[in-house]
Chains A and B, each alone.
Chain A
Amino acid sequence: MSLSSVSAVPHQSWVRQIMGLPISVHVRGPDARSDLVARRVERMYDELRAVDALFSTYSPTSAVSRINRGELALEDAGIVVDEVVRLCRIARERTDGCFDAWLPDGKGGTWFDPSGLVKGWAVERAARRLNLIDGHDFAVNAGGDILLRRQVPGTQPWRVGIEDPDSPDRVLLVVPLESGAVATSGSAHRGSHIVDPRTGKAAGDARAVTVVGPSLLWADVFATAAVVQGAGALAWLEALSGYEGLVVRDGTVATTSGFPAHS
């Protein structure tokens, strides 16, 4: 496998399983292999574990699980949960309800599942620790959702392959990016796991949607919402400011007009 980074620039990677996902970190730059950088990366992972302990829907002791069992009121859950709740409400508005952390529970009520927003939010938040490393490039890949920054003179832009949902050993195209976020949502490989919050049923027919933009939180939310949109996904993405999208649907791939040129 060929690698795009300049060989003279040290490049180190790490991977840990957190939030049920492999989270890979790549750092390029003169001190990429130093203990200082390694410690910052580990602190980043620690922060993600702490977030998971609060928001995991799998852990019975998380704040989210206690909220859903009625043991903890939303307003008593603390400022970090407050922030996520606030962002979930904004996400619901910005996506016309296609992203909604309050899903029908089938019994006339709702249950709170902010997972679709927490991952991007948490990675962006935790990656501030990597941002503090001057003069280094970094990339974080959390289960296919990617946050990037490049600032080392002479290094190439990060090259992100967009996976072919029908053939994961292939990429549909390659997006070179200096900084920003790439998020992909879809029904590939694990069955349809996106629910249309408006109906409570499995979402639309977009096979996969990739969104590129400045914020990982919003790229991820918009990708999920676009999958729910199905046939209307591309037009909906086109109307978003600052974000571009790629939609795989019915055997075709289509992109918004400003999607980064690939090479």
Chain B
Amino acid sequence: MRRIVLAATSTVSGLIMLFSYHTSTMGAGGVIASGGTAGGGSTGTTGSTGTTGSTGTTGTTAAPTPSTSGSGSSSASTAKKTYTGQSVDTRWGPVQVQITVVAGKVTDATAVVYPSGNGRDAEINSYALPILHDEAVKAQSAKIDLVSGATVTSDGYVQSLQSALDAAHI
């Protein structure tokens, strides 16, 4: 349990850093890089993301203490747990991240609170999450009804996730 919480802590703080990183370079082709594996302590790589934020970080990204929002026993390391980080004030407003951890790996990351006060300003308000393929939510375990994507084609239908979702109700 302790190990998981530590991993979650580093992930949440890493994500917070991403959120507070000024995204003005994105429109100009900048990349918010993060090659870290979220479940394994990604502070190293996300830290480098922070340093590329030459447009300024807030200094308010105190690492939040995750709180377990579900019950969950300490022995069940494979159980799905949701952690919600503390709300952190950034220069654009409060940011709060919730992550889902299964067997010590982050399976989902959600900004439950993020700045929206400035409406349409992409430079300020857009947020970016890294694609971490190991941690991307496995569709087979996600509760979904439909799939939006480029592979829902006639050629690929039989193998597609959508066909499985359809078959459940045909």
Chain A interface (Cβ within 8 Å of chain B)? 1-5, 11-15, 17, 20-22, 24, 26, 139, 141, 143-146, 148, 158-174, 182-190, 208, 210, 231-232, 234-235, 238-239, 248, 250-258, 261-263
Contacts and interface: CB of A to CB of B under 8 A. Distances in A.
B120 A11 contact: no
Contact of A257 (B31, B127, B140): B127
A25 B169 CA distance: 10
B127 A11 contact: no
* Most chain B beta carbons < 10 A, residue from A139, A190, A254: A254
Contacts of B119: 257
Contacts of A167: 133, 136
A4 B144 contact: yes
B44 to A, nearest CB: 18
B127 A255 contact: yes
The 10 closest A-B CB pairs, nearest first, are A163-B149, A238-B122, A257-B125, A144-B152, A13-B169, A188-B150, A161-B144, A22-B157, A235-B27, A254-B128
A263 B160 CA distance: 22
A261 B129 CA distance: 13
Given A21-B153, A261-B111, A160 B147 contact: yes
B58 interface: no
B56 interface: no
15 contacts: A1-B165, A2-B141, A14-B166, A15-B157, A141-B162, A144-B147, A169-B161, A173-B110, A173-B137, A184-B149, A185-B150, A190-B153, A235-B123, A252-B128, A252-B129
A198 B168 CA distance: 44
B73 interface: no
Where chain B touches its partner, the secondary structure class is loop
Contact of B137 (A139, A170, A254): A170
A226 to B, nearest CB: 12
Interface of B: 23, 26-29, 31-34, 108, 110-112, 114-116, 119-123, 125-131, 133, 136-154, 156-157, 160-166, 168-170
Contacts of B122: 234-235, 238-239, 256-257
Contacts of A21: 152-154
Where chain A touches its partner, the secondary structure class is strand
A178 to B, nearest CB: 13
B120 A254 contact: no
Nearest to A248: B131
Contacts of A184: 148-150
Contacts of A208: 149-150
A172 B109 CA distance: 10
